[in-house]
């Protein structure tokens, strides 16, 4: 009986090894099975456009109202630049404008005075012309009246030009005030987009030059995944084609659509000569997540998360596989996706 046990043990071990040898290829095949027919898949990560909140004019940063990771709305105030110097400059321009307005009133009064003098000179000239015809006065008197009239006319034209110059000065002063108001408004930094603060690049007290960056914000209106697919499959992908994004850490799928297919190959020479080299070309494809979905789950949106993108190649493909039909918990199924 003791001699049979080793034999049975050896036989059992041989059967276990044979079974494992038969199952390993099946397991390996299941782990490396490609996407179903009509679909192409590739790895990628969630990305978004990054925008900077930067100062337009040099100034000292006095306040930053948000922190890294904060969700900000479009046009929300996020930082403030010191405007004390700008306000003093504006007060000077307002005073200059008041002086120019006073000068304009004076110039207009002078015009009226010169116009009255011209009218008098015109009347004197007419009287002198009548008296000359009756020989009551000499021709010299008529010439002096005409000369006085011409001089008054020239003086009036000069004073009218002075009025135009004063009006131009007022417009220039107003332009300086408007420019200063624009600089004061630009000193209040607002978020250009709805997004999440990625980096805080400056602190209160720092003096920034023109274009100095204060914050970098992830734009949550443009969230997408970029994948790279072979040339043979890339040419079959139309813009607007339905897609799915599945994260490595989740079993649900996110609907998306193809918003961009690169016209140029990536990671290969621009000129290829052989068929084998052409088969190695890959093209960048962007899968954009619907904005309505982003808005519903804005608190869960994280860029940099890795996963797999699936794209339909046919206009009327079969239904999505079961694991790609699972949506975010509680999220409705959008028609056409």
- pLDDT tens digits along 258-296: 999 988 776 654 454 444 555 567 888 999 999 888 888
What is residue 325's three-state secondary structure?
coil
Task: Indicate whether 188 pLDDT > 70.
Answer: yes
**pLDDT tier at 52, thresholds 50, 70, 90:** very high
The mean per-residue pLDDT over the stretch 211-236 comes to 89
| For residue 318, pLDDT beyond 80 | no
**CATH number of this structure's domain 52-83+188-214:** 2.40.50.100
Mean pLDDT for 160-185 is 92
Query: pLDDT band at residue 331, thresholds of 50, 70 and 90?
Result: low
Question: Average model confidence (pLDDT) for the chain?
Answer: 81
State whether residue 118 is helix, strand or coil: helix
Question: Would you say residue 336 has pLDDT above 60?
Answer: no
CA-only gyration radius of the chain, Å? 41
**Least confident among 180-189, 208-217, 273-282:** 273-282
- Which residues lie closer than 8 Å to 81 by C-beta, 6 or more apart? 55, 57, 59, 60, 61, 62, 187, 188, 189, 208
Say what the pLDDT of residue 335 is: 39
% of the chain with per-residue pLDDT over 70: 80
Q: What dihedral do alpha carbons 228, 266, 302, 324 form, nearest 10°?
A: -10
pLDDT of residue 179: 94
Going from N- to C-terminal start, the domains of the chain cover 52-83+188-214, 84-185
Contact between 259 and 286 under an 8 Å Cβ cutoff? The reply is yes
pLDDT of residue 329: 61
């Amino acid at each position: 009986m003791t001699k049979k046990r080793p034999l049975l043990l050896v036989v059992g071990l041989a059967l276990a090894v044979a079974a494992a040898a038969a199952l390993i290829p099946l397991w390996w095949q299941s782990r490396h099975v490609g996407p179903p027919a009509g679909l192409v898949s590739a790895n990628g990560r969630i990305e978004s456009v990054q925008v900077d909140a930067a100062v337009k004019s040099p100034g000292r940063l006095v306040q930053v109202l948000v922190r890294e990771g904060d969700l900000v709305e479009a046009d929300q105030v996020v930082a403030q630049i010191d405007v004390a110097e700008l306000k003093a400059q504006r007060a000077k321009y307002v005073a200059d404008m008041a002086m120019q307005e006073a000068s304009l009133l004076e110039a207009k009064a002078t015009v009226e005075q010169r116009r009255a003098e011209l009218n008098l000179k015109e009347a004197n000239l007419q009287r002198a012309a009548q008296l000359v015809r009756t020989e009551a006065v000499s021709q010299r008197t008529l010439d002096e009246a005409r000369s006085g009239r011409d001089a008054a006319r020239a003086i009036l034209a000069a004073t009218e030009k002075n009025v135009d110059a004063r009006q131009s000065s007022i417009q220039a002063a107003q332009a300086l005030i408007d420019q200063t108001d624009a600089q004061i408004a630009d000193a209040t930094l607002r978020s250009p987009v709805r997004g999440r603060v990625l980096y805080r690049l400056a602190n209160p007290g720092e003096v920034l030059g023109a274009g100095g960056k204060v914050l970098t914000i992830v734009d949550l209106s443009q969230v997408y995944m970029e994948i790279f697919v072979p040339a043979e499959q890339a040419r079959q992908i139309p813009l607007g084609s339905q897609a799915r994004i599945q994260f490595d850490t989740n079993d649900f799928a996110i609907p998306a659509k193809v918003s961009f297919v690169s016209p140029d190959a990536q990671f290969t020479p621009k000129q290829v000569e052989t068929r084998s080299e052409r088969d190695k070309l890959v093209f960048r494809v962007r899968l954009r997540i619907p904005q309505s979905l982003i808005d519903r789950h804005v608190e869960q949106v994280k860029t940099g998360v890795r996963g797999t993108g699936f794209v339909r190649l046919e206009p009327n493909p079969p239904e999505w596989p079961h694991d790609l039909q699972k949506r975010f918990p509680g999220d409705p199924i959008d028609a056409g996706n």
